[in-house]
Amino acid sequence: MQNCNNNTRQILDFLVQDRISSLTNENSALKTQISQSEQNAYLLAHLQPTPSPAYIVANPYTGNYGYGYGYNGNGYFNPGFGPGVPGFGPGPFNIAS
């Protein structure tokens, strides 16, 4: 009876050790893959940088309350002169009259 238990124990120990070995190998492969991916991302970010502005400026093409270029609040393009700009032609902001 003791011999049978010993044989069973050896078989189970072998199976457990084999499973541990396969999981260790899989873990090592996954860590290598993650490391390689992180290294590639780092190298691409530093060797092929995307342009970044030296300083941030306001967009000159946005409409700011009817002045300047761009689209004003009601959806019409404002070229910077004409109706809607104070002092230029007929419009709600005509201060020349």
**H or E element at residue 94:** none
Predicted pLDDT of residue 97: 47
Mean pLDDT: which of 34-38, 53-57, 75-79 is highest? 34-38
**Rounded distance between C-alpha atoms, residue 91 and residue 66, angstroms:** 11
pLDDT confidence bin for 46, thresholds 50/70/90: confident
pTM, 2 dp: 0.42
**Rounded distance between C-alpha atoms, residue 21 and residue 13, angstroms:** 12
Q: Is residue 52 pLDDT above 50, yes or no?
A: yes
Strands (E), 1-97: 70-71, 77-78
**Rounded distance between C-alpha atoms, residue 87 and residue 66, angstroms:** 12
Residue spans per domain, the chain: 1-52, 54-97
